[in-house]
Amino acid sequence: MRSEMKHIFLNLKRFDVPVELGGVNRLAPMADWGAAIVRGTQDGLAHYDPAEVEFAMYLPEAHLLGAAAAHQPGRPLKLGSQGVYRVDTAVGGNFGALTTNRSASAVQAMGCESTLIGHCEERNDKMGVLAEAGVTGPAAAEAVNRLLNQEIKCAVARGLTVLYCIGEKSEEQDTWQQVLGKQLSIGLDGVDKSKVVIAYEPIWSIGPGKTPADKPYITKIARFVKEQTGGMDVVYGGGLKTDNAEMLASIPEIDGGLIALTRFAGEIGFYPDEYLDIIHLYMGK
């Protein structure tokens, strides 16, 4: 199954932290970082047809307003948040008593059209909180899936599209079908699937010294996801980069990818021109 629409997502994590504080930001001062990324990429995306490819960038919340101010109308670029809270505001109801949490209404008001939910780092955070309460194993994993389902529903109700991440850890590889199956069935329960794209993260293969998932494995998982979801679009969430862009583009069941860092050696970090190079390699134009 080859989708007519492609999706290129960008998760900028906390790449805004300056080098002297332990981060990898060599691009711009903190106050201008989000705007610098939008200014450095939107013109390079202008020749792509929005009917053929979707571009969305998920930024840390502090940078959404600057990015939105730099975004030029007509450019095929959506801004998104790195998650939403499982409870939203409501007229005549909760007016925003959500200290430290970002509601779907708040990120929509900041200019977001999309959000990232269920990234392995978010799942790990929620699992860690549950572990402190003595809840571990499959019970904790299912509870996390239920919480993520609430987040997805809040996002979709606000008109946001969702990139929903799923993936298995090394100790879950023998039971990957059950693990991914529950992430899909529980996470998407009662959700309008037309508003969601699935990102597959092979957590066991991500990181220094790990062996990247190969083409047959990625193909197998993408086929499984499409079978389980009735053909939802699936992107590779393990990192779309220069050295795998053409391989991923050759998999009919993969409908795009999730970019993070663009440079993994030397002056490690995210660089707009390298981001555009990755897209060119994947799209072939």
What are the catalytic residues?
119, 201
Total residue length of the chain:
285
Q: What are phi and psi of 67, to 5 degrees?
A: -65, -40
Q: Which two tokens stand for residue 247?
A: 């391989």
Residue 235 and residue 199 in contact, taking contact as beta carbons nearer than 8 Å: yes
User: Which amino acid is it at 138?
Assistant: P
Question: Nearest CA to 246 among 279, 212, 282?
Answer: 282
Distance in angstroms (rounded) separating the CA atoms of residues 199 and 237: 5
- Max intra-chain CA distance, the chain: 53
Question: Nearest CA to 63 among 103, 121, 107?
Answer: 107
Distance in angstroms (rounded) separating the CA atoms of residues 185 and 253: 20
Hey, how many other C-beta atoms are within 10 angstroms of the C-beta on 246?
11
Distance in angstroms (rounded) separating the CA atoms of residues 47 and 75: 9
Virtual torsion, Cα 211, 212, 214, 217, nearest 10 deg: 90
Question: Nearest CA to 58 among 118, 112, 125?
Answer: 112
CA gyration radius, the chain = 18
**CA count, 13 A, side-chain hemisphere, 88:** 21
